[in-house]
Amino acid sequence: MADSRQDTALAGDLHWYDLPDDEAQADGAHDGTAAGEARAGERGGAAGGSRAGKRHGSAVGGRIRRAAVNSTAILLLLAAWETLPMLGVVDRVFVPPLSDDLVAWYDLLISGELPEHLQASLARSLAGFGLAILLTIPLGLLIGWYRPVADFLTPLLELFRNTSAVALLPVFTLILGIGETTKITFVLYACSWPILLNTISGVRTVEPLLIKSARSMGLGPFRLFQKVILPAAVPTIFTGVRLAGAYSILVLLFAEMVGAKAGLGYLILDTQSSFRIPDMYAGIITISVLGLLFNLLLVAVERRFSTWRTT
């Protein structure tokens, strides 16, 4: 289960609680303790207030600086994409300049071709992803809660997780045909493992002292689950959900390239084979922006549910 935690540290997934500002703030709180607890009430209050003020001030400046740092590499890539084909360093037939691709993208958008493919892809992704959430979170909670069941099933689940969904696509196709059911099932399969394993791990790794503390206040198993286990597991579950969100788009593309008449994967492969190269890049740009936006949305939701998690 250790690697499922590692997944949380994917590049680009900086969280506010990973940032140096907050560590400095935590240190400040400790200094406050060392400097004398006697007047912790007033002192802590004043210090807390000024800290919050400073944090707000530096947050704006920091955000601009961070945005600049974050976007520099991307801007460089886009510039290279535009200029290198123009200068003839790369073949502009295979890699047209960015501006050509953007024009193609705009034409596809206006003609309605792009929205149609986008809609097909989104419907499949969201259906598979949504079903995975609905089915595997309750399942994971159950498995995690009954320790013997978890011990029994974990090796099997690890095996399935490490069996690429792509390897099983032919099996899905054999059983379910080449229609929508196959693609949604395919996405469902790929999304299920990160959610399921993170949910199980979230339930199982609740700080034992919290359970002991709640038990000492006379909570029975049901209340314990509802008031301690579940809230403690939420951040870990959300990490799984966010990973699944990324998978839902990644794997769908593959399914659409193998057997489909619509969808962004189909668009990309179809335009390539009919040599509409700028259109192909338009499809690729769409998919990467879509993936990025989806991830940002999920990160925002995750953050909302885990404000208290500081480590």
Partner 1 sequence: MSKIGIRSVTKTFQVRDSGEPPFTALSGVDLEVREGEFLTLVGPSGCGKSTLLDLVAGLTHPTAGEILIDGAPVTGPGLDRGIVFQQYALFPWRTAQANVEFGLEAKAVPRKERAHRARDHLALVGLSGFEDRYPHELSGGMRQRVAIARSLAFDPDVLLMDEPFAALDAQTRESLQEELVRVWQHTGKTVVFITHGIDEAVYLGQRIAVMTSRPGRIKEVVEVAFDSREGDLRADPVFGEYRHHVWKLLRDEVAAAQIQERTVVTSHG
Site residues, partner 1 (CB under 8 A): 26, 29-30, 32-34, 36-38, 40-41, 44-45, 48, 209-210, 212-219, 223, 227-228, 231-232, 234, 307-310
The minimum distance between CB 211 and partner 1, in angstroms, equals 9
Residue 38 or 167: the one with the smaller Cβ distance to partner 1 is 38
The minimum distance between CB 29 and partner 1, in angstroms, equals 5
Residue 51 or 92: the one with the smaller Cβ distance to partner 1 is 51
CA distances 47 to 51, 131, 201, Å, are 6, 47, 37
With b meaning 16 or more CB within 10 Å and e meaning fewer, what string describes 261-295?
ebbbbbbbbbbbeeebbbbbbbbbebbeebbeebb
Pairwise CA distance, residues 33 & 306, whole Å:
26
The minimum distance between CB 298 and partner 1, in angstroms, equals 19
Residue 254 or 305: the one with the smaller Cβ distance to partner 1 is 305
Q: Are 266 and 257 in contact (CB under 8 A)?
A: yes
Dihedrals phi, psi of 252, to nearest 5 degrees: -60, -40
The minimum distance between CB 15 and partner 1, in angstroms, equals 14
Residue 10 or 40: the one with the smaller Cβ distance to partner 1 is 40
The minimum distance between CB 304 and partner 1, in angstroms, equals 12
CA distances 254 to 187, 195, 286, Å, are 10, 21, 15
Residue 54 or 309: the one with the smaller Cβ distance to partner 1 is 309
Which two structure tokens, joined as six digits, stand for 75?
A: 């801007």
Residue 11 or 34: the one with the smaller Cβ distance to partner 1 is 34
Residue 12 or 36: the one with the smaller Cβ distance to partner 1 is 36
190, 192, 194, 197: CA torsion to nearest 10 = -140
Residue 135 or 210: the one with the smaller Cβ distance to partner 1 is 210
The minimum distance between CB 53 and partner 1, in angstroms, equals 15
Q: Are 193 and 161 in contact (CB under 8 A)?
A: yes
DSSP secondary structure code for residue 259 in this structure: S
Which two structure tokens, joined as six digits, stand for 126?
A: 């969201």
Measured at the alpha carbon of residue 148, what is the angle toward residues 185 and 208, in degrees to the nearest 5? 105
Pairwise CA distance, residues 12 & 22, whole Å:
18
Q: Are 133 and 247 in contact (CB under 8 A)?
A: no
The minimum distance between CB 41 and partner 1, in angstroms, equals 5
Matching residue, tokens 């579950």: 237
The minimum distance between CB 216 and partner 1, in angstroms, equals 5
